[in-house]
Structure 1
Amino acid sequence: MSSAGADIAGPPTGSVPRKRRRVPFWDNARYVCIVLVVLGHAIQRLIYDSDIAFAFYLALYAFHMPAFAIISGYFSKSGSPTKTQMARVITDIILPYVIFETLWTLTKWLVEGQADPNLTRPSWTLWFLLALGIFRLVLPYLALLRWPLLWTIVISVGVGYLPNIDSTFSLSRTLGLLPFFALGWWLREHDIVDRFRLLDFRPWWLRAGAVAIFAAIGWAAWNWLPVWQAIDLRHWLFYEDSYADLGGEQWWAGGVRILLMLLAVILSAAFFCLVPRGAHWWTTFGQYTMYVFLLHSFVLYPFRESGILRDLEPTWIWLPLVTILSVVIALALATKPVRRVFRPLVEPRPGWLFTDPELASKEGRRNDPTGSRRPR
């Protein structure tokens, strides 16, 4: 592993433990992923009027959330949770979810004049917060099983046949994406990245191959766009609806999900090949992806609902502009002033909630659910 971002190996017996250094690659990957999340939501209104935007949208959704789930799994622990880790599920996931779901209810009431308070139905982006919570809760049990990856694939494919597993508590999407989270954990559990020096061995032909893969998926998304629109591929990529709801009543419909999962893994691998390994001025923003994730939807809400992003022509101007805007939003929401203002909402410290108040603030500032504060 390169010295610029390598973890420090464990100290010799009897020596003073040294703090592990952060690996810039992972912060870079997190930040690029959150930019893609913002971008995917920003261009959604463009896809109704632009075939190019639609093709770009399909290529993006084919891998960006699976890649985020892989990163989250890589930084998750499968051992029996400690009291502090159990408290973090409450403080890092449940409380922010309740807080932001309440804010969304108030926003819809103030702007639209109506609201339907329902904590079982996550608003817009909050589904992934619930998914991370469920991932963390089930991981210790998955780790007890033989072939955990295989079981998660069976679960993901199987839930598509069950119409009663829907968006309540984001369960359908959570179980659909579970294999990617488990894959990230498996890579860490078996030390695949370090054993095979995947962050070191990146020759030009590997990067060229990654670019070729994205070029191929972009060409396929654009060239066969009428086919993808006809089969409603967009919603297949959400891992949310049952096969029957997507028009896939056939017994082999689960095979489509398997192909999409395989495609997502290939594209995620290509994505990781292209993520810079070294530290850059924007690398540190990868530690604050939860702020971007929870706040960006409020920034985009006026653009989405006002219709300002509809009928924007020519696409070759507006699509790059929206892309640049997404990067700026992701940067701005990770800055220190924004974090200082919104920390009570994004990272609440409710000592009053626990019998042991220290559980709300142990080990300094806690990791967010994606593990972005961990050094490795």
Structure 2
Amino acid sequence: MSAEPQEQQAATAPKPRVPFWDNARFACIVLVVMGHGIQRITYDSDAALVTYLWIYSFHMPAFAIVSGYFTKSGPPNIRQMKRVITDILLPYIIMESIWTLVQFLVEGKQELNPTQPSWTLWFLLALGIFRLVLPYLALLRWPLAWSLVISVGVGYLDNVDSTFSLSRALGILPFFVLGWQLHRWKLIDRWRVAERQTWLIRSCAVVFMLAWIAVLVAFVDLWRAINLQHWFFYDQSYSGLGDDLWWAGAVRLGLIVLAVLLSAAFFVLLPRRETWMTTLGQYTMYVYLLHSFVLYPLRESGVLRGEEFPELYLVAMLIFALVIVIVLSSGPVRKLFRPIVEPKPKWIFADHKDARPGPSRRDPTGAQRVVPPARTHPPAPPSHR
């Protein structure tokens, strides 16, 4: 065999999959569902509030870091532009329409306003905004610093609100840019963090996590009084949070630093090898978009409140959240809900005839799916004359 075919084969060979990133996505989506599941219990339980604050202090920043790590900053090509439509805009329109109908039937709410995303749908729009902003930030020197300026500065603007989830997207923008920078700097590859850690690094991560939990427990009454959880949402101005002092931006900056450190400790403690959660971590968008429909009737019925035995409800909901994630990322659920989570209406594109059918190989967060190859018919046996 000549050297040229071997070089071409090496150039086209797929990169080895790193199970860590799928494990990270799965762990992040579990925290998302847990946070939404226990939110009502925080009214009656300090333990639930501490758990809730611990989750919200870093879970969406960690998700944004992972998403940014797999995002390219160059000008989008035609295929990437189509994926923004099919993977972000269309699912948003479909899910927002469903939510409007559900809220009308259950609550009698008669409001059709797609500019105000319902519940979890804000992150879909945030991913679209990230992709729009990143190519311009990449042209500048110190893009991470500029993203911090944007995040801290937007809190001083009362007119930037939840319309198209702009306030939240700009608030967590530094985490997305940080993920992109980590890939650009190749820090993960240099330090081999995605493959192994020493016992010392893991021990430091555990100590830091425990220290933060201790702070949350020690000052839980203070956190409840100042509504600390609202600072972790990144969806309101500082005046809307009740703190219009000039140094309020320093508070957000401190929380951003805290979230980065907590995310780093969280990533360090995740398994590096392929586990039972690795495959499920490729389909986090199904969980993210569908789990709210599971929790919504429980929330409206008051089941999630758990006023009599809040600690028991807390443990039950944490376990139930894990079950929800496993079920919603399973094969049968994906097959059933693929038309609304991953719609592929080829006809809307001008060049629809050469559009690729079937499920996406990559979701909006950058998760590379393992899609089975298309079936091919074996070649016909040669005829003997």
TM-score band w.r.t. shorter chain: over 0.9
Hey, what does 1:341 align to over in structure 2?
336
In structure 2, the partner of 1:13 is: 7
The alpha-carbon deviation at position 210 of structure 1 amounts to: 1.1
The aligned amino acid for 2:66 is I
What is the rounded CA distance, in whole Å, between the counterparts of 2:307 and 2:278 in structure 1?
Answer: 33
3-state secondary structure, aligned to 2:240: coil
- Give, in angstroms, the shift of residue 281 of structure 1: 1.9
Match of 1:266 in 2: 261
Deviates more, 1:314-323 or 1:288-297: 314-323
1:8 equivalent in structure 2: none
Larger deviation: 79-88 or 361-370? 361-370
Q: Distance in 2 between matches of 1:310 and 1:352?
A: 46
CA-CA distance at 1:261 after TM superposition: 0.1
| Structure 1 counterpart of 2:223 | 228
**Partner SS, residue 350 of structure 2:** coil
Query: Aligned pair in 2 of structure 1 residues 358, 134: CA closer, same or farther (>3 Å)?
Result: farther
Q: What letter corresponds to residue 169 of structure 1 in structure 2?
A: F
CA distance in 2, matches of 1:90, 1:366: 15
Which residue does 1:95 correspond to in 2?
A: 90
Q: Give the secondary structure class of the aligned counterpart of 2:192.
A: coil
The 3 A distance-change label for structure 1 pair 274 and 359 is farther
SS in 2 for 1:371: coil
Q: For the Cα contact (< 8 Å) 1:349–1:360, is it kept in 2? A: no
Alignment of 1:48 onto 2:43: yes
Q: Which residue of 2 aligns with 1:309?
A: 304
The AA in structure 1 aligned to 2:316 is L
2:45 touches 2:311 (CA, 8 Å); kept in 1? no
**Partner residue in 1 for 2:363:** 368
Q: Do the aligned partners of residues 19 and 363 (structure 1) sit closer, same or farther apart at CA in structure 2, a change above 3 Å counting?
A: farther
Q: Which residue of 2 aligns with 1:161?
A: 156
Letter in 1 for 2:275: H
CA distance in 2, matches of 1:200, 1:172: 36
TM, length-normalised to structure 1: 0.94
Are the structure 2 counterparts of residues 251 and 214 from structure 1 closer, same or farther at C-alpha, using a change threshold of 3 Å? same
SS of residue paired to 1:13:
helix
- Show the 5 A alignment for 1:172-321: 172-321=167-316
Alignment of 1:48-127 (within 5 A): 48-127=43-122
Partner residue, 1:6? none
Report the residue type matching 2:54 in the other structure: A
Classify the secondary structure of the residue corresponding to 1:283: coil
Q: Which amino acid aligns with 1:47?
A: T
Q: 1:186 is paired with a residue of what secondary structure?
A: helix
Q: Unpaired segments of 5 or more residues in structure 2?
A: 371-385
CA distance in 2, matches of 1:261, 1:358: 46
Query: How much does 1:367 deviate?
Result: 1.4
CA contact under 8 A between 2:152 and 2:249: conserved in structure 1? yes
Q: Residue 44 and residue 368 in structure 1: after superposition, are their counterparts in 2 closer, same or farther (change >3 A)?
A: same
Instruction: State the alpha-carbon separation in 2 of the partners of residues 43 and 29 from structure 1.
Output: 21
Cα root mean square deviation, aligned:
1.6
The 3-state SS of whatever aligns with 1:193 is helix
* Aligned-partner Cα distance in 1 for 2:306–2:16: 48
Checking the alignment, whether the CA contact within 8 Å between 1:28 and 1:276 is kept in structure 2 is yes
CA 1:365/1:258 → structure 2, altered by over 3 Å: closer, same or farther? same
CA displacement at 1:312 relative to structure 2: 4.0
Structure 1 vs Structure 2: percent identity of aligned residues? 59
**Structure 1 residues 103 and 55, CA, compared in 2 at 3 Å: closer, same or farther?**
same
Distance 2:160 2:6 in 1: 51
Q: Is the 8 A contact 1:193 1:199 kept in 2?
A: yes
Alpha-carbon offset, residue 164 of structure 1 = 0.1
* 1:42-89 alpha-carbon deviations (Å, 9 max, x no partner): 000100110110111011100000000000000000111110000111
- Larger gyration radius, structure 1 or structure 2: 2
Are the equivalent residues in 2 in contact too, given 1:350–1:360 (CA < 8 A)? no
TM-score scaled by length of structure 2 = 0.92
Paired residues of 2:69 and 2:181 also in contact (CA < 8 A): yes
Contact 2:195 2:273 in 1 (8 A): no
* Code of the aligned partner of 2:89: I
